[in-house]
Amino acid sequence: MYLVTAAEMGQLDRLASSEYLVPSIVLMENAGLRVVESIRRHFQDRVKNRRVLIFCGKGNNGGDGLVVARHLLNQGAEVKVFLLARPEDLRGDARTNLEIYQKMGGRIFPLLGESHLQRADIALLYADLVVDAIFGTGFKGAAMGLPAAVITMINKAHRDTVAVDLPSGLEADTGRAFGPCIQATWTVTFALPKLGLVVEPGASYAGRLEVADIGIPQKLIDSQRFNLHLLTAAWCRSRLPKREASGHKGLYGHVLAVGGAPGLTGAIALAATAALRAGAGLVTAAVPRGVHGILAMKTTEVMTCPLPETPAGYLSREALEPILERLAACDVLALGPGLSRDPATVELVKELLPRLKAPAVVDADALNALATDTGLLTGNHGPLVLTPHPGEMARLAGTTAARVQEDRLEIARKYAREWQVVLLLKGARTIIAWPDGQAYINPTGNPGMATAGSGDVLTGIIAGLMAQGLEPGVAAAVGAFLHGAAGDEAQARLGQHALLAGDLLNFLPAVFRNLEVEAGVTASLGRD
Ligand SMILES: NC(=O)C1=CN([C@@H]2O[C@H](COP(=O)(O)OP(=O)(O)OC[C@H]3O[C@@H](n4cnc5c(N)ncnc54)[C@H](O)[C@@H]3O)[C@@H](O)[C@H]2O)[C@@H](O)CC1
Ligand SMILES: [K+]
């Protein structure tokens, strides 16, 4: 499902009218009607006598709110419109809907100054529902002055609140709120989800997200070649590797996982097992000789292979040739889980990268090793999937984790293009950026997954999917979706605190099986 910016949405609205002759007031009418239908569902179709407060701004978002007011009034609801503008300030379609509403006997309460706030505050005490139609995609920066006071007052009332298109106070393009922002129970956004609704904190302000069709021609949408997507269950399901009945393990690929160090065998065990859980036919875990026995004890289905090590037990540069020999018989390399930052191991990684032909997932300390010489990434290398968390991304980009978190999408896209890699930037709403500029946002997952080993499981899942023939970018996207979905399943049963990375492995089969009924943000969208 495409994600759009405010400007792209505005362009769609304009072209719908200019190129496809859909009058803008028809788009507004459709928008308002979709919100009314959503409200009816919220009230189990009993709208009569419900007390609904509709807060309208001066733009077209306010216009949508007035369409909602008209129809709820017609359906017997008790409607009050609080207008954060003078009637004469309204223009065009919004003004038309104001005038229709008034001709129908609809009541308008001005909300222009502090003195008007109290009346709204009292009305909020008795409201069954608040409709937030103050700001939509036209909003920039921070809500201040009266709008800020109104937003704060609405939030304090803790009434069920539906946001029209966007929760007011949220920037559509960044998902950030620099001032007060409506905390919506749910949001009905029009045509396509805006980026700010699916990244934090926007996703939290928006509450449950519904995407409503307002009649923008699909042909117009497809012609825009948008390159930012929200991952959906349908998209992932259609790209899962198929399992032929006649399949044999060789058909499902062979993953070589390289990592491990004294005291760090858990990471490589999790990654290797995750690759099997993701459906790889064979997995070999290659680790320093000294911990090979431990790993062999920890794992059963995973084959293990001892590698040359330094006196202290870390992978040494002598491991280079044995790794390349092993890799020649494998389909994909998972490099990094539990690798450690031992200087000899760092050198090994830097010598290994330019020699790689097979696709590789590079994670954790292998990323930290490359951060000491990112020139290796601009050299020629096989297809790579890098899976940094914000701290590792900061080291790779020579900046701070805080800066990375401020501009997650831009940074992921910049380095995916610069290094010609698939760059999966972990964090709330993981971003998967492809070298060709396409980018995907993963809606699944929860804070309970911020636990040791969770990233190793993701590395294994992605490598396992690549071993079965998925393109690196698709494997990273589907892997992130499945990893988060397993975390959501695990949280549902175990809560967030007790969740262990190993639990993710146990819930992966369930997630693979019931991909069709994915809960959360995708099911309510109903569309790919
Ligand atoms: N044809 C169209 O353009 C359609 C637009 N629609 C609605 O129109 C909305 C966009 O409407 P507009 O572009 O008129 O703008 P909005 O209605 O989102 O914003 C209202 C006004 O707020 C002002 N504003 C922006 N930032 C502010 C701030 N920080 N503090 C105070 N005021 C601020 C701007 O001057 C803006 O005109 C969409 O979100 C959607 O709800 C829908 O009706 C679908 C059709
Ligand atoms: K709004």
Q: Which domain holds residue 343?
A: 235-516
In a shared domain, residues 154 and 118: yes
What is the reported pLDDT for 245? 65
In a shared domain, residues 193 and 293: no
Q: Whose CA is nearest to atom 25 of ligand 1?
A: 139
Q: How far is the centre of ligand 1, averaged over its atoms, from the C-alpha of 57 (Å)?
A: 8
Q: How far is the centre of ligand 1, averaged over its atoms, from the C-alpha of 134 (Å)?
A: 8
Number of domains in the chain: 2
In a shared domain, residues 211 and 284: no
Q: Report yes or no on 521 lying in a domain.
A: no
Binding residues for K(+): 61, 132, 168
Q: Report yes or no on 239 lying in a domain.
A: yes
Mutate to test the pocket of ligand 1, among 17, 60, 64, 70 (most ligand atoms within 8 A of CB): 60
Q: Are 276 and 302 in contact (CB under 8 A)?
A: yes
Question: Which residue, 176, 205, 225, sits at the end of a domain?
Answer: 225
Q: Whose CA is nearest to atom 20 of ligand 1?
A: 59
Sheet containing 384-386: which strands, arranged edge to edge?
228-230, 439-441, 431-433, 422-425, 384-386, 360-362, 332-335, 254-258, 282-288, 303-307
Q: Report yes or no on 522 lying in a domain.
A: no
Dihedral pair phi/psi, residue 187, rounded to 5°: -125, 135
User: Per residue in 238-276, pLDDT tens?
Assistant: 898 877 667 777 788 999 999 999 999 999 999 999 999
In a shared domain, residues 221 and 287: no
Question: Which residue, 225, 247, 274, sits at the end of a domain?
Answer: 225
The identity of residue 113, as a single letter, is G
Q: Report yes or no on 112 lying in a domain.
A: yes
In a shared domain, residues 196 and 248: no
Q: What is the ipTM of this complex?
A: 0.97
Question: Which residue, 186, 201, 225, sits at the end of a domain?
Answer: 225
User: The domain spanning residue 350 has which CATH number?
Assistant: 3.40.1190.20
Is 50 exceeded by the pLDDT of residue 427? yes
**Half-sphere exposure (Cβ direction) of 120: Cα atoms closer than 13 Å:** 32
Look at the block and give the residue holding tokens 């009924």: 517
Q: Whose CA is nearest to atom 16 of ligand 1?
A: 138
In a shared domain, residues 178 and 92: yes
In a shared domain, residues 265 and 220: no
Mutate to test the pocket of ligand 1, among 11, 22, 54, 137 (most ligand atoms within 8 A of CB): 137
User: Which ligand is closest in space to the CA of residue 55?
Assistant: 2
In a shared domain, residues 220 and 240: no
Q: Which residues fall within 8 angstroms of residue 9, CB to CB, at 6 or more apart?
A: 137, 172, 190, 191, 192, 194
Find, among 45, 34, 38, the residue nearest to 76 by Cα.
Answer: 45
User: The domain spanning residue 183 has which CATH number?
Assistant: 3.40.50.10260
The residue-averaged pLDDT of 495-510 equals: 89
Q: Which residues fall within 8 angstroms of residue 384, CB to CB, at 6 or more apart?
A: 356, 359, 360, 361, 362, 377, 419, 421, 422, 472
In a shared domain, residues 315 and 337: yes
User: Per residue in 138-167, pLDDT tens?
Assistant: 999 999 999 999 999 999 999 999 999 999
The residue-averaged pLDDT of 465-485 equals: 96
What does pTM read for this prediction? 0.87
Q: Compute the mean pLDDT over every residue in the chain, rounded to the nearest whole number.
A: 93
Q: Report yes or no on 371 lying in a domain.
A: yes
In a shared domain, residues 281 and 403: yes
The residue-averaged pLDDT of 202-209 equals: 96
In a shared domain, residues 194 and 270: no
Q: Are 175 and 183 in contact (CB under 8 A)?
A: no
Binding residues for AMP: 426-430, 455
Pocket of ligand 1 (CB under 6 A): 13, 24, 27-28, 31, 57-64, 135-143, 147, 164-165, 190, 214
In a shared domain, residues 215 and 327: no
